[in-house]
């Protein structure tokens, strides 16, 4: 049971034992307070609630902003042009808003470890939760080697003197060190790293504004020149309107990979202090800040560099290291700005390292959530005395060793493989979140739970959930369309683009047949499991001010 009083750092332990005979005619109110399981079920969550509001805010931002916003976004510019890139990122943010609203309402109501994974099993079908959980784990775990390869690429911007294998090994060691400490120290590490990312993107936006108005060494007042020459829309694969549409579609696919959703905020819910209060604010703040960064970032890229820039094309074609492929660095080189590219490269390195660190955390917590629900080996639930799921972190780091593939292949090719794999997984995750909310929404209505009484009530429901579900579901299939174009068929590309789409139903049907699970009807959904413990924690929580004046100041800014 959750701790009370000032000792809010104690382990959050939920122990709940319920026996139900579903054949008995129980009243609706009693029924929804009972677990639908017909046998004893014990849930033990040994993580610690030590993440403060500023940690939650910056973890949400830090896990989302990686190298894709600074470097990989240049590929989207080449594919579709500046207008397509800007429109695609703006449109995709509306789908992210829909997904965020779904998660904000459910997690604020029941802020537990690995929430959306466990909600999928509780509100829809245990087999659905199993498939969703393992899909999310694979998604997060695959992103770790992606960012490690990106770190290696960034370091080689300066020199090739350090062997690739040594760089990868050092990064893995640092991830292990950070993630095996108490979660409070992970939160502090990620807070400062994420703050650096925020400062970098703000700095690049300011750089764009000043330089486009002529504030550069060559006094070039270029403004929106590149929207006219070579143009706002770039044709891709075909000429004419069809080519321009395919260019826009490729930018939309790029946006669906680059712009993450509420996953990272949600995964920290089980280790957040006073979550009923801080989670709604965290969802709102993180969404608006990320939207501003990604939409403005996509606009700035199209202002700074033409989509047919030879240096940008060569950087991606030849797999040039680090920020050499960043549109911002390409613009700085054109404007003869010295020194700044090295600063950008250093901060991009920090961004890549921080993103990988966040993915280790989220992947380990998703595996921990699966173990709590009996969908992963039981030994995975064991935690250190600091509340860290040691075995889960270890498994993620072993998975991260896939980054050593970089020793035998071009970095750009390895990055493309991981991008293709995780894009489909991420879109499946978003679709699962929206579908789970629709089940939650229907259960609330049937069981008489007034959503106006919840800590956060999402607007535009259930229409926003349908909008998010349809959009993300369709995009999951669209992502690998290029393999079906003329002479583009490639077996590895096809497998990486669609493997998770094929894997998800296999996981679902396999667990369903093995455990003989059933899709839950609205009146069968248990909306009360773990609720008593959360409410007791909230009633007894007493906020203790940080003794450090600087930390108090940061809490006010980001809390």
Reply yes or no on whether the pLDDT at 39 is more than 50: no
User: 244-257, pLDDT tens digit by residue?
Assistant: 999 999 999 989 87
Mean pLDDT of 450-461: 91
| Residue 23, domain member (yes or no) | no
* Residue with token string 């613009």: 331
Instruction: Specify if 57 maps to a domain.
Output: no
pLDDT at position 70: 80
Is 401 domain-assigned? yes
- Highest mean pLDDT: which of 131-145, 247-261, 504-518? 504-518
pLDDT of residue 87: 95
User: Is residue 538 included in any domain, yes or no?
Assistant: no
pLDDT of residue 7: 35
Poorest-pLDDT segment among 7-16, 151-160, 335-344: 7-16
Angle between helices 275-304 and 53-62 (to 10 degrees): 30
Q: Considering the domain boundaries, does residue 527 fall inside one?
A: no
Would the pLDDT of 25 be above 80? no
> What's residue 323's pLDDT?
60
Least trusted range by pLDDT, from 258-272, 289-303, 471-485: 258-272
- ω into residue 462 within 30 of 0, thus cis? yes
Local confidence band at 201 (pLDDT 50, 70, 90 cut-offs): confident
Specify if 287 maps to a domain: yes
**Cα–Cα distance list, 429 to 102, 285, 392, 435, 455 (Å):** 12, 21, 20, 10, 24
- Percent of the chain topping pLDDT 70: 83
Q: Taking residues 327-347, what's their average pLDDT? A: 87
What mean pLDDT value characterizes the chain? 80
Highest mean pLDDT among 100-114, 285-299, 412-426: 100-114
Q: Is the pLDDT of residue 8 over 60?
A: no
> What's the pTM value of the predicted model, to 2 decimals?
0.82
For residue 11, the SS3 value is: strand
For the cut 50, the answer to whether the pLDDT of residue 420 exceeds it is yes
The verdict on residue 59 lying in a domain is no
Higher pLDDT, 69 or 134: 134
Residue 20 included in any domain: no
- CATH code, domain carrying 164: 1.20.1740.10
The total number of structural domains that make up the chain: 1
Coil, helix or strand at residue 53: helix
- Residue 489 is predicted with a pLDDT of 82
Q: Which pLDDT band holds residue 181 (cuts at 50, 70, 90)?
A: confident
Q: Which of 187, 167, 130, 179 shows the shortest CA–CA distance to 395?
A: 179
Residue 84 or 41, more confident: 84
pLDDT of residue 495: 79
- Chain-centroid distance of CA 27 in Å reads 40
List 5's β-bridge partners, or say none.
541
Query: Which domain covers residue 305, as residue numbers?
Result: 70-515
């Amino acid at each position: 049971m959750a701790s009370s009083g000032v000792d809010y750092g104690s382990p959050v332990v939920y122990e709940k034992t319920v026996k139900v005979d579903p054949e008995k005619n129980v009243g609706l109110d009693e029924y929804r307070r009972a677990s639908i399981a017909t046998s004893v079920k014990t849930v033990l969550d040994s993580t610690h609630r030590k993440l403060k509001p500023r940690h939650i805010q910056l973890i949400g931002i830090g896990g989302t902003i990686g190298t894709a916003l600074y470097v990989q976004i240049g590929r989207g510019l080449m594919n579709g042009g500046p207008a397509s890139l800007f429109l695609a990122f703006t449109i995709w943010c509306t789908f992210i808003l829909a997904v965020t609203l779904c998660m904000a309402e459910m997690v604020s109501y029941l802020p537990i470890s690995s929430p959306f994974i466990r909600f999928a099993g509780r509100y829809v079908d245990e087999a659905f939760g199993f498939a969703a959980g393992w899909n999310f784990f694979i998604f997060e775990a695959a992103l770790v080697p992606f960012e490690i390869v990106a770190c290696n690429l960034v370091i080689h911007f300066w020199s090739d003197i350090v062997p690739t294998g040594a760089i990868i090994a050092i990064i893995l060691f640092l991830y292990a060190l950070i993630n095996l400490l108490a979660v409070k120290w992970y939160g502090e590490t990620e807070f400062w790293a994420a703050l650096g990312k925020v400062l970098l993107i703000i700095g690049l936006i300011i750089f764009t504004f000043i330089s486009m108005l002529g504030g550069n060494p060559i006094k070039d007042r270029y403004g929106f020149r590149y929207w006219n020459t070579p143009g706002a829309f770039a044709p891709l694969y075909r000429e004419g309107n069809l080519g321009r549409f395919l260019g826009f579609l490729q930018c939309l696919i790029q946006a669906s990979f680059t712009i993450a959703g509420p996953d990272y905020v949600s995964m920290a819910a089980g280790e957040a202090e006073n979550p009923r209060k801080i989670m709604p604010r965290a969802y709102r703040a993180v969404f608006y800040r990320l939207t501003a960064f990604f939409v403005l970032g996509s606009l700035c890229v199209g202002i700074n560099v033409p989509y047919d820039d030879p240096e940008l094309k060569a950087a991606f074609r030849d797999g040039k290291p680090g920020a050499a492929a960043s549109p911002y660095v390409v613009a700085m080189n054109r404007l003869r700005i010295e020194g700044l590219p090295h600063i950008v490269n250093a901060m991009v390195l920090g961004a890549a390292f921080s993103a990988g660190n966040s993915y280790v955390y989220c992947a380990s917590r998703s595996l921990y959530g699966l173990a709590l629900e009996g969908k992963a080996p039981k030994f995975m639930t064991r935690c250190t005395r600091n509340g860290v799921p040691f075995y889960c972190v270890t498994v993620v780091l072993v998975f991260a060793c896939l980054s050593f593939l970089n020793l035998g292949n071009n970095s750009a090719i390895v990055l493309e493989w991981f991008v293709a794999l995780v894009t489909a997984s991420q879109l499946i995750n978003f679709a699962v979140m929206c579908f789970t909310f629709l089940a939650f929404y229907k259960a609330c209505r049937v069981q008489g739970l007034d959503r106006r009484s919840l800590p956060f009530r999402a607007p535009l429901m259930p229409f926003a959930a349908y909008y998010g579900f349809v959009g993300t579901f369709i995009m999951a299939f669209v992502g690998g369309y290029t393999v079906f174009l003329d002479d583009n068929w490639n077996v590895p590309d096809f497998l990486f683009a669609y493997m998770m789409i094929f894997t998800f139903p296999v996981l679902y049907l396999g667990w369903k047949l093995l455990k003989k699970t059933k899709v839950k009807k609205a009146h069968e959904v248990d909306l009360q499991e773990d609720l008593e413990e959360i409410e007791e924690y909230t009633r007894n929580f007493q906020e203790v001010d940080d003794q450090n004046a600087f930390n108090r100041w940061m809490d006010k800014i980001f809390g």
